[in-house]
Amino acid sequence: MNDTKIVPNAVLDKAKKIKLFAMDVDGILSDGKIIYNSYDVETKAFHVQDGMGLVALKEIGIILAIITGRTSPMVARRATELGIHHVVQGRDDKFVALSALAEQLGFSLEECAYMGDDWPDLKAIDEAGLGVSVPNGADIVQQVADVVTIKKGGDGAVREVCELILKAQGKYDDFIQRFL
C-alpha cells in the first residue's frame, strides 16, 4: 500500500488471516466503464500493476476469485492470463457466491477478503473477514468496508490490497527481493 496511508492494526490483523481474495470486476479490476466497439464487442481495460499484485498473492498461496454480476469474455480472458481458477460471472448475489466458494474451499468467511464498489457487493464486503472498497465506490459500500483504497478501481486499487495482504502476512519483502 502507499506508505502515506496508515493502516490500523485491526485491519492488519484481519489481513493476516486471509486465504481467499475475491473481487468484483467493473469498478474494481476495471474503471467501471463498459465500452462497446462498432462491432458490438465489449472491451475492458485492466491495470497491469493489479495483475502483478494478484500474481504475488497467488504465489504465496492465496486463492484468487472473481465474482461479477456481468458475463464477459474479457473477464474470462483476464482470469486465464492471471491463473484465476474461480470465476463466477452473471451473479448479483455476491455474498451467496462468496459464501458458497468459501465453503467449497474449506475456508471460514473470516479467512476471505472481498473487494467491491457497488450495492450488490455490500453484504459480501460487510461479512468477509476483510472488506475492501474504492474511493469511487458507492458511499454506503465505503462505509461498511474495513478499508477504502487510495487509488480508484481500475487504477491500481487491487494492487494496494495485494500489498496490504503481502505486508500483513510478512511476505512482501521476500516477494520483491527477486526484483532487486
List the chain domain ranges.
10-177
pTM over 0.85: yes
pLDDT, position 59: 95
Pairing of strands 112-115, 86-88: unpaired
Is the distance from CB of 27 to CB of 137 less than 8 angstroms? yes
pLDDT, position 36: 86
- Per DSSP, the residues of 63-110 read EEEEE-SS--HHHHHHHHHHT--EEE-S-S-HHHHHHHHHHHHT--GG
* pLDDT, averaged across the chain: 94
pLDDT, position 172: 96
- CA 58 distance to own-chain centroid: 12
Secondary-structure class of domain 10-177 per CATH: alpha beta
Please tell me whether residue 80 adopts helix, strand or coil conformation: helix
